[in-house]
Amino acid sequence: MKKYLYKYIVCVAVLFSGLSFAQQTPAPKQSQAISIVGATAHIGNGQVIENATIVFENGKIVRVGASATTQTAGKVIDAKGKHVYPGFIAPNSTLGLVEVDAVRATKDEDEIGNFNPHIRSLIAYNTESKVVESCRPNGILTAQIVPRGGRVSGTSSIVQLDAWNWEDAAVKVDDGIHLNWPSNFSRGRWWLGEPRGLSPNKDYAKQVIAIQDGFNEVSSYLNGSRSPKHLPNEAMNGLFKGSQKLYVHVDTEKGMLDAIAFAKKNNVKIVIVGGYHAHKIATTLRQNDIPVLLHRTHSVPEMDDEDYDLSYKKAKILTDAGVLVGLENSGQMERMNTRNLPFLAGTVAAQGLDKEKALQLITSNTAKILGIDDRLGTLEVGKDATLFISEGDALDMRGNILTYAFIEGRMLSLETHQTKLWKRYMEKYSRK
């Protein structure tokens, strides 16, 4: 009896584990041309086409224009009264690297050690993640997967969010290396008896020198015999050759200025990630052509004397100053909150930035910063048909209701665990 009971329990456990963790089957390759007709097309570069027609086949956009002058082909989707957008792009994300914060076995976002440029986030990316799946119904179709921890965290890659495995998911492999710049301030560790609040980081200068010493060592290795082979140093080769970018995670004004000087000295291309005080050095950023992936818009001020709405309007300040800005969403519950990315841009628009420029913060601007603007970020001929149709304004949670979504022309399922729960409880309330 116990034997059969045990088998029964095992079978039930396997069944429910499959229901709980399996993602939908990735969409099949586009088999026929598709035409979206009648929608308002938000191109992603500031342009809007009313009553537009967009035609794509073999995963690429082949025609975009006014419906009156643009010929359709293949399957026609009537999108009159709706809106078409390029797929949103989530940079600096740990999507697919952690599934459940409280379950250690599902966490694969960092590695032991302080210098890990050879650690590649791509091979740890979990395409079966239910968190990844939850982003697609809000229009997030592409993400930069970034490792965490240490001084040099590792190497990021860019993926599309509907794939069988990480090889299929890859859009751009090993796009850049991530450096956590030291802060020139530190917070008192009360549990060690240190004073509470901010105080100068007495080790800041030493930490910056250590970074430069590490880069000098890498440069010497790459310009020497490169024997014996040293994997961390080898992983930095693309950075010194110019094929990779250095993503510097830094927030303070002095930290950013020092990082810019460091980049010039080492002749590497950098992107500021976080940039909490970037608005204070906007002119310097513009003059040095350094883009910023700005910290989460939905956050409170860190300093007592700052405007309560500083985080909301910072993107506009930088954009008006001529800085190339994208939005990133790292922080508390960052993976689950990734689906709110469009509403971060919507908040920026509510603070005065033109709505189409706000859209660029999560489409074309981010694509340029990540180096994928030849394929993604706008609805233009020759680019990937990674786009979606929304009932209304996709930067507003009331209008962000997707009816269709496509990645490289493949029609996606928009069903997730969350949408199933929503439908279930909507039915419950409709019975009252």
366: CB partners within 8 A, 6+ apart: 89, 91, 293, 326, 327, 377
**Radius of gyration for the chain, computed over Cα atoms and rounded to the nearest angstrom:** 23
- Residue whose tokens read 């930035």: 353
CA 126 – CA 74 distance, rounded (Å)? 34
Question: Token pair for residue 124?
Answer: 């740890």
Query: What is the band of 304 on the pLDDT scale with cuts at 50, 70, 90?
Result: confident
Residues 106-164 have pLDDT tens digits of: 889 999 999 999 999 999 999 999 999 999 999 999 999 999 999 999 999 999 999 99
Domain 88-376: assigned CATH number? 3.20.20.140
Sign for the pseudo-dihedral over CA of 317, 319, 325, 329: positive
**% of the chain residues with pLDDT over 70:** 94
Over residues 49-58, the mean pLDDT reads 98
Residue type, 296: R
Please check whether the domain covering 25-87+377-414 is classified as CATH 2.30.40.10.
yes
Mean pLDDT in the chain?
92
What integer pLDDT is reported at residue 316 of this predicted model?
Answer: 97
What integer pLDDT is reported at residue 14 of this predicted model?
Answer: 42
Sign for the pseudo-dihedral over CA of 35, 39, 41, 42: negative
What count of residues does the chain have? 432
Q: What dihedral angle (degrees, nearest 10) is formed by the CA atoms of 106, 112, 115, 117?
A: -30
Query: What is the band of 417 on the pLDDT scale with cuts at 50, 70, 90?
Result: confident
Domain spans of the chain, in order of start: 25-87+377-414, 88-376
Query: What is the band of 3 on the pLDDT scale with cuts at 50, 70, 90?
Result: low
What are the b/e assignments for 387-400, b being 16+ CB within 10 Å? bbbbeebbbeeeeb
Query: What is the band of 10 on the pLDDT scale with cuts at 50, 70, 90?
Result: very low
Question: Token pair for residue 324?
Answer: 């190339």
323: CB partners within 8 A, 6+ apart: 278, 282, 285, 286, 290, 291, 292
Over residues 44-65, the mean pLDDT reads 97
176: CB partners within 8 A, 6+ apart: 155, 156, 239, 244, 245, 246, 247, 271
What integer pLDDT is reported at residue 58 of this predicted model?
Answer: 97
Q: Is the pLDDT of residue 11 over 60?
A: no
Residues 15-35 have pLDDT tens digits of: 444 444 456 789 999 999 999
**% of the chain residues with pLDDT over 90:** 80
Closest residue by Cα to residue 276 from 337, 185, 155, 142: 185
Classify 405 as helix, strand or coil.
strand
Output the DSSP codes for 335-394.
Answer: HHHGGGHHHHHHHHHHTTS-HHHHHHTTTHHHHHHHT-TTTSSS--TTSB--EEEESS-T
Closest residue by Cα to residue 185 from 193, 176, 197: 197
What integer pLDDT is reported at residue 298 of this predicted model?
Answer: 92
Query: What is the band of 343 on the pLDDT scale with cuts at 50, 70, 90?
Result: very high
Q: Name the residue with higher pLDDT: 307 or 91.
A: 91
The answer to whether the 25-87+377-414 and 88-376 domains have the same CATH topology is no
**Phi-psi bin for 407: left (phi > 0), alpha (psi -120 to 50), beta?**
beta
Q: Is the pLDDT of residue 5 over 70?
A: no
Contact indicator for 304, 270 with CB cutoff of 8 Å: no
Residues 307-340 have pLDDT tens digits of: 999 999 999 999 999 999 999 999 888 999 999 9
Strands (E), 108-197: 140-145, 152-160, 170-180, 185-187
Classify 19 as helix, strand or coil.
helix
What integer pLDDT is reported at residue 15 of this predicted model?
Answer: 42
Closest residue by Cα to residue 63 from 384, 382, 389, 386: 382
